[in-house]
Structure 1
């Protein structure tokens, strides 16, 4: 028996149907669904939902109308609550936290998404709806992505030069991710990959004297933080580089 593994993207649905057509013509038994293993990338599923719901001005208008009608009819869920009348957000490769913001908005408005795709006029999109398990995984992914998002927001909110706080924040981020790994063991592999990349970045950054100098000059950080959080070797190297910088 042969199986083909692919995710739930619409083009893969088309691909499987075409394979079935070609093999059937050759008298080779094949089922577009029976010979398929669906690989669920919940981030990709969220992206597909957003793309479908934003595909035209009419769909965006229908989505907002769906939210408004649900609010007018007493709200959503148990206990019922009103949803914000806002659109879904697309992820953008060049924008910080865009994947987190996309997933966050999908989860916030998922009841309205479910209602919209349940309409007869959008029945061809009903396959995009998430199972309860996929929704829970998406919530876990959101919780994971929220940690670096919060750190990024802290840096971008600063009105003064941020070089002095970058390394302390990223050191703290690693600690937060290690705690999160215990809370979300099923995402352990992804969290570990993020930790390794951060540790690699921090190791390189400690070799750049400008970071140590910026922290030492900051009145609330100085050498004390470096001494408490870096190895003895890195601490001594930082002292030497700062001394060289101020005496040159």
Structure 2
């Protein structure tokens, strides 16, 4: 099946349902951001350390699979030149709405995060990729595409999920799925059909080798990382952090 098309429709529907990752920043948040009081996240709870960022004024940033009007407007309010690339038209519309309201000049492009051919080589200073590579079946093309469109010494910030999160049954915490996990191939037929009928996005649990080793093999140096959890939304928080954020630099 065409999971990219399905996930596009699923995220469009999440906007209609006001999913937490589709609700744009509030006026209060924008006022604080314009006054220099701001934070953005790659994972559910922990803010990205400010020292991960260079001077944002005039910085060319690609918000990769980052639609929803959340991170992009905050970074644009700091003077960054922001382009948001996302699979969901309705998620991109959220960014356009905020951009128009606050005159942020955010550009939006619709597409599959594995294919950034719409952008020339060495276009961006920084790529901000909140936890979203779980929505594609193969993460390695994402890292290669990011490396190509970043300028020399450009920065890639990305949110990742620990593969164990997908292998556990959340209720029993029993290990029931093999790695690598895929909604398409790991779930029983009835569970997959239920997901499809409910228009839920399909996810893929990538190995740490592909998520972290893949960045290194693409040519990046990982300069920092931190772990995060579901912020109380999952019982897994009592046992291990399900999320990893990494900061990597393009090496020439």
Q: Which TM-score band (shorter chain)?
A: under 0.3
Which of the pair has more CA radius of gyration? 1
TM-score, length-normalised on structure 1? 0.23
Question: RCO higher in 1 or 2 (8 Å CA, sep ≥ 6)?
Answer: 2
TM-score, length-normalised on structure 2? 0.23
